[in-house]
Structures are given as C-alpha cells and as structure tokens.
A and B are shown apart, each in its own frame.
Chain A
C-alpha cells in the first residue's frame, strides 16, 4: 500500500473547544477515501486544515512524504493538490472558459514572464481548458458567464476549475451539497469517473453516495475517528449506527 497523503495526530482547538482531536489517516494512491460523520463532527475543520485554510493546533500532514502542515493554500495546487468547495465557489462575472483557463494557467505557467505575454500565446492552456470543459459537459455554455449557469452547472464548473490544476490528489468537500437528486447522481458518476485518474479524499454527509463509491471510509464523531474500514464494514458497525442515530 502506497500513501499519497498521511495525517498524523491532527488536532484543532478553538479556545477550549476541541473541533478535531488526534485524527490519523492514510490515503492510498488511486482510491476514493471518504470521511463521513454527522453534523458538527469536525469534517469541515479537518478539511480546512488539510487544504491550508486553517493552521492545525498540532499534528502533521504529509503529502508524498513531504511535510505540508500549515502551507498557504495557494501553494498546494502547484504541488498537485486541488480542492473543491462545499458552497459553489466560482468567478461569477467571468465566462466559463475564463474560469477554467485561469486554473489551468496557474499550474502550467513556467516563468514569471508568462504573466505578461498575450493570452493567445498559450495554445496548450486553451486546448486543455476546452477538454476539461467538455469532460464535465459544459461545452455548449463555454462562453456564458458563470453567474448565468444553473446551480447544478455551477457545481460542474466548480469541478472543472478544480481539475484545471491537473491535480494528483483531489480534496472534495461535500460536492453534492444542495444538489437535486438527478444532479447528485450525475455528480456521483463524475466522481467515480474521476477516481480512475485521481486519488480522491471525499468529505461527505450523505451516507448512500459514500457507500456506493468509496474504497475506505473513515467515520468522525465529535472530532475523533470512531471507525475506519470498507463500506460494508462500516455499515455493520454498531458505533457508526449509534453516532448517526444520535446515540453516540
């Protein structure tokens, strides 16, 4: 088993409140690893610490055996880690093409002088952009402004922006949040498709999606890992059932 992401004793305290407590986790290359838990389990805090938004109180995060604990979030895409947000987070007044283009460019530019060259100089960026947009099924909307898209399409665009960074590890924070059932299904399929190319760390609230697609599931409750295993193991676990039913 080869790890791409390794988390050692990660903790976060807000004053006296411990949001995440001594979490250990290893994400295997090429798998979908899910982190689930009831509301307030510390999933988002955990996600924010890995993605560089919040500095951890203690513990370490290793990416390919490099210590990336507390790295500023703008550095992560350049190392191969991209994240997708819980709330729709796109650039509303820019076109779909510009949205994705800037993400592809961010990790493709080689020298600082690239910033001053005409946009038309970057053919490979333009090609890559169009490919990604067609992958998520937004080719017919490529010149529309992001704010003109429907909610589901915006989530797809969000995904396209994330993929633009050519990541090896994808951090997804509740990608199906607020989606209609059909769109949820579409997103689940997309995630499954993506898992062939990328390693995915998925933070989710909805059990059934996670059960379907994950290889390993880690269950958080009150900021601590209460169980870890394959979907069927977790399903059977008494502790997990209790946590979800509020008996934990």
Chain B
C-alpha cells in the first residue's frame, strides 16, 4: 500500500457517513472485512470457496445468541470469532484435501449443511424468521459511536491482514497459487498452508459476521445461505483480486448499486448480472484494475503534454 491508497482509505472512512446512510456505510465496512479476507484465499492463494457465508452466518448466530443471553459485546465478538476459527479448521481440514472444482463443491456442501442446521434448529436460531430481538449495547447506541466502533475494528482487521500478506506467509500463499507442486518441492507443506489461508479468511469473515448482528439488531437466515457466499465472491471479483484493497471497491460498488437499484426496480439483480458479465469478460482484474489503468493513462497523457510543451519552448 502506498501513501495514496492509504490517503484514499482515510478519506473514505471520514466521508463515508456523509455519503451513505449509517446502516449502509457500516454494512460496507463489515463486508469490506469479508471481501478483503476472502481475497487472501481467492486472489493470493488461488482457492475459490463457495462457503464463506457459513462462517459469516454461524458467527453472527453465535454472537447474537451470546448478546441475547445478556452477556457483554466484548465477550460476544471474541467468542464468535474464535468459534468460526475452530469451525474453519474442522471444515477446512476436509476441504483442502481436494483441489479445484472438488474443493468448491466441498465448501458448498458444508455451507448447505450449516444452513439447514440453522433452518431446522428453530428453538435456537429462530429458523426461517432469523434471530431477533438483539439490542445494541449502550455505548454504541448512537449512529456516530457505532460508526466509530465499526471503523476501528475495520482498520484493525485491515492492518492485521496487510501484515499477513506482506509476511513470508503471504509469499507462500502466492507460491501455492502459482505452482503448488514446486512449492511442495522446495519444502512447503502445501496442504497445511492452504488450511492456514482458509482459516485466516474464515476467521476474519467470522469477525465481520459477529459485527453484522449489531446493524439491524437481528440475524436473518439468508446470511448463512449459499447465495450470500455467491455475493461475497461477486463483491471480491467485482472489486478485483489483483490487489489488497481492490475487493473493498467491489463491496462499496455492490452495496451502493444494490441499494440504489432495489428502490427503483424490483428486478435489479438483472442489471448486476450484466455488470458482472462485463467485468468478467473485459476487466479480469475488476474495477480496481480499471481504475489503475485509468490512472496510468492519465499520467501518460499529462507527461506527454508536458513533453510537448517542453519541445515547443
């Protein structure tokens, strides 16, 4: 991350509450954590998981239940995050045994399994109605304090994830993406590091899930449905897997577009479909690559202008 991207990020955090309604901007930050962590697995390690809603949803349920039981939020968030870490070790252990399509299918299968547990276990999860009646603690009762709380956690997660991808671990993830058999041959246990990547992504997704409860004071069951996993993949690809903050752009774009279009037209996913198709066909690096190219072109153009002036003088 250079100083320009950091500046952009800070401006976004500061201006966000003025541009979007409180529920929207907090949702953007929460899904920002989800998409960026998913990108560690998808973009850096090259593993496409269709089961990230499993961790998001499960963690939301755990956090919601702890809050409903009357325990403080400082207990709910760590326990829910730890919970999704442990589940990710269990689920991941089986998933990383397979590669490619079979890996995707396994993550998908686990997602469906957890969804139906939530669906059937009505006395605990509220079944189809979701988990309702959760109250936000007093200290984050106002919109402002809630936003500050979420942004602190957002920036902390970002910092930690950035540390991870710039450590040797991040390099090993790239090795696995580029050439798993060679990575094995130079002494890295590929299956183990795939599990590490899977767990890191899932744990941060879980952290985000535990925060999601606080926005609408409830856990709707569709947060654990596989369609949500699809949304997560969509947001990540939409923003671009090529760089660290790319997925965040995807999240902001996706949530903003869906909020705007869903008011105008009930069939708005149709437009999203068209946009997604265009991105996948023509901008493989997502919106972030598009922006990067634009910046490069502008720089080139201005430089050319300067050179011409210089020649004329």
CA distance A127 to B223 in the complex (A): 49
Do B179 and A90 have beta carbons less than 8 Å apart?
Answer: yes
A147 to chain B, nearest CB (A): 10
User: Which of chain B's residues 260-297 have a Cβ closer than 8 Å to chain A?
Assistant: none
Interface bracket on A: 35 or more
B152 to chain A, nearest CB (A): 22
Among A116-124, A182-190, A215-223, the stretch that binds chain B is A116-124
Do A115 and B167 have beta carbons less than 8 Å apart?
Answer: yes
Report chain A residues within 8 Å CB of B179: 89-92
Do B166 and A119 have beta carbons less than 8 Å apart?
Answer: yes
A115 to chain B, nearest CB (A): 4
Number of interface residues of B (CB under 8 A): 22
**What sequence of 0s and 1s flags, for each residue 67-107 of chain A, a beta carbon within 8 Å of any chain B beta carbon?**
00000111111100011010001111110001001110111
**A91-B163 CB under 8 A given contacts A77-B186, A77-B187, A165-B187:** no
**A83-B185 CB under 8 A given contacts A91-B175, A91-B179, A94-B174:** yes
Do B187 and A106 have beta carbons less than 8 Å apart?
Answer: yes
CA distance A49 to B243 in the complex (A): 39
Do A116 and B167 have beta carbons less than 8 Å apart?
Answer: yes
Report chain A residues within 8 Å CB of B164: 116
B-side interface mostly: helix
Partner of B163, one of A83, A89, A114, A116: A116
Report B's interface with A, CB cutoff 8 A: 163-164, 166-169, 171-172, 174-175, 178-179, 181-190
Report A's interface with B, CB cutoff 8 A: 51, 72-78, 82-83, 85, 89-94, 98, 101-103, 105-107, 109, 114-119, 122, 161-162, 164-165
Q: Could you pull out 30 A-B pairs where Cβ atoms are within 8 angstroms?
A: A72-B189, A74-B185, A74-B188, A74-B189, A82-B186, A83-B185, A89-B179, A91-B174, A91-B183, A92-B178, A102-B168, A102-B171, A102-B175, A102-B183, A102-B186, A105-B171, A106-B187, A107-B187, A114-B168, A115-B169, A116-B163, A116-B164, A116-B168, A117-B168, A118-B163, A118-B167, A119-B171, A161-B182, A164-B186, A165-B187
